[in-house]
Structure 1
Amino acid sequence: MGANSSGVQFHILGPLRIEVDGEPFPLSGTLPACVLGVLLLERGRVVPLHRLVTAVWDDDPPETGSHQVRKAVSVLRKRLPGGERLLLTESGGYRAVVNEEQVDAGLFTIRLRRAEEAEKAGLASNAAEELGAAGDLWRGRVLQGLGRSVLESVSLAWEEKRLAAAEHRARLLLELGQSAALVGEMRSLVEQAPLREALRGLLMLALYRSGRQAEALEEFAAIRDTLARDLGVYPGPELLALHEAVLRQSPELHVPARRHGTSDAPPSFVPPVQSPCTLPYDVADFTGREAELERLTFLSEQSRSGGTRIVLVDGMGGTGKTALAVHAAHLLLADYPDGQLYVDLHAYTPGEEPENPASVLAALLRTLGVESSRIPEDMPSRIALWRAVTARRRVLLLLDNAATAEQVRPLIPGSAHCLVLITSRTRLVELEGASWLPLDLLSAEDSVELVARSVDRERLAADPGAVDELVRLCGYLPLALRIASARLCQRPHWSVRKMADLLRDESRRMRELRSGELSVAAALTLSFRSMSEDTRTAFHLLAAHPGSSLAVDSAAALLGTGVDEAGEILEHLLDVQLLRQRDRDRYTFHDLVRSFARSLSGGGDGVPEETRQESAERLLRHLLWSSEHACGQLFPQRAAYPVPLPDPAGVHLHRFGDAAAAVRWFRAEHSVLGDALSLAERQGLHEYTVLLARNLVYYLHNQGYHEEYAQVCATAVEAARALDEPLLLGLSLTNLASACWQLDRFRTGRAALGEALELARRVADSRAEAAALSRMAVFQWSLGELPAAVASYQAAVALHRRHDSERETAETLTNLCDVSVLLSHPAQALEAGREAAAIARRIKDRALEAGALAELVPALLVSGEPHSASHHAEAALHLAEELEAPPNIVRALLARATVRLAEQDMAGARVDAERALNLTQLHNFRTREASALNLLGRVRLAGGEAAEALTSHASAWRIASPIGLRLEMAAALSGKAAACYALNDLARAADHAREASLLRARMGLLAPEPPEIVAC
């Protein structure tokens, strides 16, 4: 593999296919595929942009053709591993930097070179084998399916290379006397190129040398008639001469003497060819695995530099490795006529020791006809005899349940005509030349089908939801699915729902997944018992991790080790298939493996309760300190409450180089932190619950996960009450109120804030009082109590300044800016908004800066600064999108839509308002959804769509009215009035205008009415 994109393989000899580390890598879109295909064809050479455009669109490219090609290259660079280094921009074009071995067309060329070298050395058999391997690389026409004329012409050139190689190989095999075996292959080639005289001549010669003179003459008649009919010509002189020689049975057509150096004769002691088959029976209900079977077949056809084909199927116990390998072996029987052999190596068989390779070799040799007396005693001689016996045979060898590479290596035949299938719970990475097929779980659809093969389909159809839950609780593991199906068959009066209910209880899941000799627990126990005692302990502690995925540093915390040592343990568990890996440096337990580990906790295989509790507390301390550092990067100026944190001694502290790294960490550990809170709550570690919650809610708020935000805050409030710690309780209540505002639970939020204010004043904590006042003002603003909101904001700002809480000061000033605009105090609004933005820039809080810039936009518009308003809206949106923060993106979009509406850019305003509306609905931002609907209504009305505007404002009213959101209620009424007026429904327009005026007056909005109300 090349250094530029290690592990990436490109296949262009047929439909474009990409593989990464042996697995298919999907690439959507014809345009990127076409561009990549052309660059791979010209591997290492610069392809000018205009040539790429022509290759994609032939002679009729669109005006945006060059732009689309550039975009396609950009997409490829982002999607392909190492894409930035793989596709380079050079001299007005692009160049694909890939090694020859990374493209099947390059491998084809390599094989042709090797064939030429072998033939020069007098090794005709080796040359023919290389040419055969070259032909096996083809899966169809070059870049088949892309259908461009430029590619079609290139495809024809490559097709000529393929046929020329096939002809050369046929000539070599004819010289080697392999005429009969060549006939079928030559007929297939003739069907593909019926007018190619050289191919037809080689087929005629192969038939003649196989004693089939009449058929050889029939082939000549066939091409003579075809040429006359299609082209109006006669066969060429070479074919005519061959026809004459066949008619005369000329001696010159006989097989030539064997070339020097090409003898492949086996030693004299090799027995005659036998064709034994010792494969187990193929299961009748084998289900699914189409992709795996296709992959296994593909791998079985790939020669490893002329060596034996070796395919290793690995996976956790119960995934059906043996069933797949046996099924595949039965499908491939015809390709290996000299024997299909099965050996169970007993690596994980209860009560059995792994098989000794020497004993296995003796058994294999006897199966192939070697007398026991002729089998050597010493291992080297036994291996040599095995390789000699299989040297000229096509044998399929299935080695099931392998333990190590050392156990398998002596059993590998020495012939390139043999296939070795190996199954193991361990990836035998030391086995040279092997291809790997990791066997994962079944898909949900195939899991249901596997159950349906055993259980009456009518019974399943009675409750399809229960069937889906059953297969999910079985973890899509074939062994578990077979056991559950067997139990349902044994108990015909059980419903599928009853079986699912039994499995839902994790404490008894392992007991339920047992039927006769089949048991998930037994299958996993074999892997568990093979580990050292220390690794078993680590397995228990890691299974107690609360989240669905496990990072290496979290594993180190659980185990009380260094990160490197923890990584080695994780990799070992991965090797023995007790862990899975979905992302780099993150590991997961299969649900049944985790259940298995927890089922052992109470027995002799468990670990002491004290050890588990210490492990859990180490993890909580690690997550707390890591989240503390992440918040330090994301919110550097958050209020520094005097909260004592647990001692970080012995904890691997996760450091973050920048805010982006902190966001990535929070995104990866998001669910883990939530589950860790539950763990802390269950174990009564209330301090960890409160402090972890405080850090997590910053991220949840920033990402718009408001339901979870509220749940986490409620948990923190209960933990703080249990601690009887007023400071932490006030902090948790204030956070709960913020979550309630986002969810429009105004009554609950105001009650929480009232308690928080009372606590703060009782203990004379002015910092906590300022935080509570800031949030109380938000509720007052939402409910239309605007003068009260201004007073609360101003009081909060004064307290925040006293404590130098710059972030809280800026956040409060941002909200004060918004209210001041509503109350027609533009100077106050501008002052507050500009100071908020300046503070946010100074403390490098980009999320806060985005919010401040967005709220400044209306103040700038009413102050007659439209250009500045537009600039601020663009800057706010850029920051918000860079941070991927949905709440701030919505605010910025609404701000820019307002500017565009003022500029009469109706199309742009509509796009922004609709995008903001989509985001609010996606993330359930009800308050902002009402704002977006009202703004969209204004845009529609300005664009002459009065009826649609009325619909938008009516929807805003339905959202705002039940929760008492007076500002949006008033805006909805004003909008409905204007829409009705435009529709000439003057009575309704007047009614809506009157209601809007009354509501505005109750909110203290005594400034002139909006134009839409005045018009009515």
Structure 2
Amino acid sequence: MTVGDGGAISLSFSVLGPVQVRRPGGELDLGPRQQRLILALLLAAAGRPVSLSGIVEVLWGQHPPSSAVNVLHRYIGALRRMLEPDLPARAAGRWLQGDANGYRMTFEADQLDLLRMRTLTARARSAAESGHDGEALSLYQDALALWRGPCAGAAELGASDHLVFTVVDHECADLAREATDLGLRRNDVRGLLPVLRHMAEVRPWDEALQAQLLLALSADGHQAEAIALYQDVRHRLAEDLGVDPRDELKTAYQMVLRANGTRPVRLDTPTDPAPTAVPAPKPSAPRVLPAQLPADLGYFTGRDEARSHALDLIDQALPAQEATPVLSIDGIPGIGKTTLAIHLAHQLATNYPDGQLYVDLHGFDPEPAVMPPAEALQGFLNALGIPDSDIPVSDFARAGLYRSILAGRRILIVLDNARNADQVRPLLPGTPGCLVLITSRLRLTGLATTHSAHLLTLGVLTLKEARDFLATRLGARTSADPEATDEIIERCGRLPLALAVVAGRALAHPDHRMSDIAEELRAEHGSLDGFMGDDLDNNLRAIFSWSYLLLSPDAAHLFRLLALQLGPDLTIPAIASLIGAPTPDARRLIGQLVRTGLLTEHSPGRFSTHDLVRAYAQELVHRHEDEQDRRQAVRRLVDHYRRTAHAANRNLNPTVGIDPPEVTGAVVVTELSTPAAAMAWFTVNWPVLKAVVQYRLDDGDATEAWQLVLSLMQFWQNEGAAHDWAGLTRACLYAVTRAGDDFGRAHMSRGLAGALHLLGDNDAAERHLHEALELFSRLGCLGEQSVVYRNLGMIGLARKNFSSTVTYLERALHMARRAGSSTEQVNDLTMLGSAYIEMDQHDKAFEILHQGLRIAEEHQDLRGQGGCRWGLAEYYSATGDLVASLAEWKLTLDISRRVGWLTNIIECLIAVGDTALALGDRAGARAAWQEALGLLDHRRLPYTADVKLRLARLEKAVKIDG
């Protein structure tokens, strides 16, 4: 048995693949997923501390439960006991240690495979620099042999996209490419091929790695496999991403085709013949210290969070020194990307004593002005002291010369306004020591894959940042009229460029008050005329147009129609409906808009435009689309929401009393197959649906408005959103009454009664229910009458008027049976059972509830089963069988979660906690109530105070007993 320091048993840790811990005699059981994830995070940090907040974010994302820190400490304790079973209580331990900075693992370099890999890599590089290529290649192979798969098996742990793991994965990919590069030079790649094949398989989108595998296969005589691999990668890129291979992969393929069985040349070898060899640059090139950064703003304000985050990302990347840190800042036009990048560069310049390089790549200027990488390289080489006569003609040779000069130097490089990743790849250094800052309207995810780039997306300024922005430029004028200042900020959409244009105008007219400027913007009625600068660089319309002119005709058509959207954002099916195109075509056009910065994917599958960008689209849509085309586009969009809402509601309430809306073939309906999916769709689309209802009311179409509201009522009930429910339903009731639509009036009267009941106004609710009952009776709607009678029974139950309650519920059940509605029968039986429990007629309640449960199970009515089990939980509680009651509450809770009924989930959790406490299970009660409190966060539901009171009483009781 191996014994470490202090007599502790020695362990070995592995994170280059699924996380493992071994001791003499076997592998340790690492426990549940979250515990393994914590250990994986600490191992991937390789001895560096990981903060509590960092661990919490990996485990629970941006919305951790209130008990997160306590749960985390329990996992840490469990890990310590697993690693050191004999560790005394509260002892620090050898392996897992905590301090003010968080938690970290401590071990020797040979005890963690990641550190062993780094040690071998450093020795390999040293051997290569000394000219011992054979020894270097052997060390590279030993280092790569430690790699078993993606870092920590993060995908299985549910954290595949976390930065700590992806950085290690990129490091391993860089190592594989580096080793393959040396193997190709020595014509000795056979020992690298197994790991290279495996790594390329798990990193299918890493085109640089795929390119190296192509060359290695060809060099080892596997020409046919190399060609087949390229075709497979090309097909995969086209099918899955809708893109072609980039230049690096296409060039490697051409080299394979030209090789004809001979060893292909390397990617950075000049392919054009030259009469004389390029001289080695490092000995002959003069040590010029470039200082190309544009001036920093003397009044830089705001962006504190973004600036701090950017510096943190850079600081995290620097200690490893495995490659040059790359930070890519993206965002919409006018968001302040260049300003932030230049400000960061000036802050960091003293750390890079060999100078600063800067280039504006004009990535989104009109096409002829876009700078090719070769031209940028020439400018950089000139700045580094290389005359034109010594700069190679070949792009690859030019990039190689540039990387050679940068090797060993510490230079800060700013690549401004990049069009795509391909434009900047040749400008990236090949060795550690430098820092690269990039700005682009496009999120350069390809650089994250191939160069471990950190990506930072800028949003609009916060209100405070915008106020500081104007105050720094305009002084006391802003504080003298804060209301006008805030109006200006909102009319500028908190876009830095728009604020700068307005500030410039204010400085040119020092006699203008802030209220005068606000009035000028107000008079423009949301157009861009108020943001016209003195030149193209600060003219919003011109800057937006540069992106617009890059679009294909179909994408430009989509951009114009985006001005017609009815809510804050759009999904892909909604956009497809807006333009009347199939979903794949819409997805392709969306990609163009995102790449040009005119559309932002603010959350997965949801797209929005800045208010001023939409104002630009508004100008264009009225200029290029006639009124009929605009109305048809809005018609398709409205139909998308109406039809999808109806289908979603059928998942929540199968007894919808209206037929599906008729739509044209050009409308795409979102497929929602489960109640949970329907609730999720309603939740994220609620702001848009509210806008659609208001649009139809404003347009005078009361029928479409009330039918959409009817589709929303079950969602409102599930969420407990009584105020929204009452507001829109009352508006529709007024509209249908004026229109003489008795069917709509009946539905809206009944619907308004439901909202009023939740709000506690049972008198008004009862009046509306009697009005609905009269209308439904006149129209002969049996199923709807059953629902109204049940609603009247609910009000009677709330008032403890049991005789009227039973009368109404029995009428409801009679109507449901006549209508042949099993769902309504179950609902009526559930309510009747609850009434009999209240009346202490327990045997009758038990019989009725089981009758309803049999019908619900026979018809696979999940909601009905939940209602009946709720009643049974109340029955067992009333009869004193708390164990059975708790079991039924838990079954009801599970069903409520499956159907996405939030109010039921919260009430069930409260009941589970109450019953658990009555059974003496304080921990179970606390867990249930804390979960309920977490669900109540930021929601207007009347349970928060009760749950907090329960938790406070529990903690007080624990302290007294303790």
TM-score for the superposition, normalised by structure 1? 0.63
Preserved CA contact (<8 Å) 1:681 1:689: yes
Instruction: Give the secondary structure class of the aligned counterpart of 2:299.
Output: coil
Note if 1:610 corresponds to 2:628: yes
Note if 1:294 corresponds to 2:311: yes
Preserved CA contact (<8 Å) 1:304 1:433: no
The aligned amino acid for 2:473 is: S
Aligned to 1:233: none
Correspondent of 1:50 among 82, 100, 110: 82
- Relative distance call for 1:709 and 1:618 in structure 2 (3 A) is same
Percent identical among aligned pairs is 26
Note if 1:446 corresponds to 2:465: yes
The aligned amino acid for 1:291 is: S
- Relative distance call for 1:405 and 1:829 in structure 2 (3 A) is closer
Aligned to 2:530: 512
> CA shift at 1:882, angstroms?
5.7
Aligned to 1:200: none
The aligned amino acid for 2:501 is: I
> CA shift at 1:688, angstroms?
3.1
Aligned to 2:559: 539
The aligned amino acid for 2:311 is: E
Correspondent of 2:121 among 110, 114, 117: 114
Note if 1:710 corresponds to 2:726: yes
User: Matches of residues 650-689 of structure 1 in structure 2 within 5 Å?
Assistant: 650-689=666-705
Note if 1:804 corresponds to 2:820: yes
Find the aligned partners of 2:88 and 2:861 in 1 and give their Cα distance. 46
Which deviations, in whole Å up to 9, do the C-alpha atoms of 1:368-407 show, x marking residues without a partner? 4444555566766655655565556544333322334454
Preserved CA contact (<8 Å) 2:491 2:526: no
Aligned to 2:785: 769
> CA shift at 1:704, angstroms?
0.7
Find the aligned partners of 2:81 and 2:911 in 1 and give their Cα distance. 40
Find the aligned partners of 2:647 and 2:327 in 1 and give their Cα distance. 46
User: Matches of residues 38-77 of structure 1 in structure 2 within 5 Å?
Assistant: 49-51=81-83, 58-59=90-91
Instruction: Give the secondary structure class of the aligned counterpart of 2:621.
Output: coil
Instruction: Give the secondary structure class of the aligned counterpart of 1:331.
Output: helix
Preserved CA contact (<8 Å) 1:580 1:587: yes
Preserved CA contact (<8 Å) 1:315 1:426: yes
Preserved CA contact (<8 Å) 1:543 1:594: yes
> CA shift at 1:737, angstroms?
1.4
Find the aligned partners of 2:810 and 2:60 in 1 and give their Cα distance. 61
Preserved CA contact (<8 Å) 2:471 2:479: no
Aligned to 2:349: 333
Find the aligned partners of 1:906 and 1:408 in 2 and give their Cα distance. 59
Instruction: Give the secondary structure class of the aligned counterpart of 2:288.
Output: coil
Q: Compare 13-22 and 725-734 and name the one that shifted more.
A: 13-22
> CA shift at 1:797, angstroms?
1.7
Note if 1:586 corresponds to 2:593: no
Instruction: Give the secondary structure class of the aligned counterpart of 1:800.
Output: helix
Note if 1:691 corresponds to 2:707: yes
Preserved CA contact (<8 Å) 1:266 1:391: no
Preserved CA contact (<8 Å) 2:334 2:540: yes
- Relative distance call for 1:297 and 1:836 in structure 2 (3 A) is same
Which deviations, in whole Å up to 9, do the C-alpha atoms of 1:90-144 show, x marking residues without a partner? xxxxx9xxxxx9x99765433321232344456279999x99xx9xxxxxxxxxx
User: Matches of residues 98-113 of structure 1 in structure 2 within 5 Å?
Assistant: 108-113=115-120
Aligned to 2:617: 597
Find the aligned partners of 1:524 and 1:344 in 2 and give their Cα distance. 18
Note if 1:530 corresponds to 2:546: no
Aligned to 1:169: none
Correspondent of 1:14 among 34, 48, 54: 48
Aligned to 1:732: 748
Note if 1:751 corresponds to 2:767: yes
Find the aligned partners of 1:402 and 1:896 in 2 and give their Cα distance. 56
Which deviations, in whole Å up to 9, do the C-alpha atoms of 1:440-460 show, x marking residues without a partner? 12444433332332232x554
> CA shift at 1:705, angstroms?
0.8
The aligned amino acid for 2:338 is: T
Instruction: Give the secondary structure class of the aligned counterpart of 1:115.
Output: helix
User: Matches of residues 355-370 of structure 1 in structure 2 within 5 Å?
Assistant: 355-370=371-386
Correspondent of 1:521 among 541, 554, 563: 541
Aligned to 1:280: 294
> CA shift at 1:343, angstroms?
2.2
Preserved CA contact (<8 Å) 1:770 1:800: yes
Find the aligned partners of 1:277 and 1:792 in 2 and give their Cα distance. 85
Find the aligned partners of 1:875 and 1:389 in 2 and give their Cα distance. 69
User: Matches of residues 610-649 of structure 1 in structure 2 within 5 Å?
Assistant: 610-636=628-654, 638-639=655-656, 641=657, 643=659, 645-647=661-663, 649=665
Q: How many residues align?
A: 756
Find the aligned partners of 1:671 and 1:484 in 2 and give their Cα distance. 31
The aligned amino acid for 1:344 is: D
Preserved CA contact (<8 Å) 2:307 2:344: no
TM-score for the superposition, normalised by structure 2? 0.66
Aligned to 2:498: 480
User: Matches of residues 251-290 of structure 1 in structure 2 within 5 Å?
Assistant: 266-267=280-281, 270-287=284-301, 288=304, 289-290=306-307
Instruction: Give the secondary structure class of the aligned counterpart of 2:639.
Output: helix
Preserved CA contact (<8 Å) 2:444 2:455: no
Could you list the runs of 5+ residues in structure 2 that have no partner in the other structure? 1-14, 20-36, 144-277, 958-962
Find the aligned partners of 1:269 and 1:120 in 2 and give their Cα distance. 21
Aligned to 1:421: 437
Instruction: Give the secondary structure class of the aligned counterpart of 2:473.
Output: coil
Which deviations, in whole Å up to 9, do the C-alpha atoms of 1:411-453 show, x marking residues without a partner? 4556654444332223455665362433312444433332332
Aligned to 2:7: none
The aligned amino acid for 1:277 is: A
Which deviations, in whole Å up to 9, do the C-alpha atoms of 1:546-594 show, x marking residues without a partner? 3333322222222222222222222332222222223332333333333
Preserved CA contact (<8 Å) 1:401 1:422: yes
> CA shift at 1:802, angstroms?
0.3
Could you list the runs of 5+ residues in structure 1 that have no partner in the other structure? 40-46, 70-75, 77-94, 96-100, 135-263, 944-1016
- Relative distance call for 1:364 and 1:608 in structure 2 (3 A) is same
Instruction: Give the secondary structure class of the aligned counterpart of 1:676.
Output: helix
Find the aligned partners of 1:370 and 1:417 in 2 and give their Cα distance. 21
> CA shift at 1:510, angstroms?
2.9
Instruction: Give the secondary structure class of the aligned counterpart of 1:422.
Output: strand
Aligned to 1:171: none
User: Matches of residues 81-100 of structure 1 in structure 2 within 5 Å?
Assistant: none
> CA shift at 1:907, angstroms?
12
The aligned amino acid for 1:59 is: A
Note if 1:313 corresponds to 2:329: yes
Q: Compare 118-127 and 822-831 and name the one that shifted more.
A: 118-127
Aligned to 1:123: 130
Q: Compare 282-291 and 583-592 and name the one that shifted more.
A: 583-592
Find the aligned partners of 2:111 and 2:474 in 1 and give their Cα distance. 45
Aligned to 1:789: 805
Preserved CA contact (<8 Å) 1:483 1:514: yes
> CA shift at 1:803, angstroms?
0.4
Aligned to 1:193: none
The aligned amino acid for 2:597 is: Q
Find the aligned partners of 1:894 and 1:105 in 2 and give their Cα distance. 46
- Relative distance call for 1:921 and 1:855 in structure 2 (3 A) is farther
Across the aligned residues of Structure 1 and Structure 2, the Cα RMSD in angstroms comes to 5.1
The aligned amino acid for 2:314 is: T
Find the aligned partners of 1:718 and 1:466 in 2 and give their Cα distance. 37
Aligned to 1:887: 903
> CA shift at 1:699, angstroms?
1.0
Find the aligned partners of 1:903 and 1:384 in 2 and give their Cα distance. 74
Which deviations, in whole Å up to 9, do the C-alpha atoms of 1:205-249 show, x marking residues without a partner? xxxxxxxxxxxxxxxxxxxxxxxxxxxxxxxxxxxxxxxxxxxxx
Preserved CA contact (<8 Å) 1:850 1:876: yes
Q: Compare 419-428 and 529-538 and name the one that shifted more.
A: 419-428
> CA shift at 1:756, angstroms?
1.8
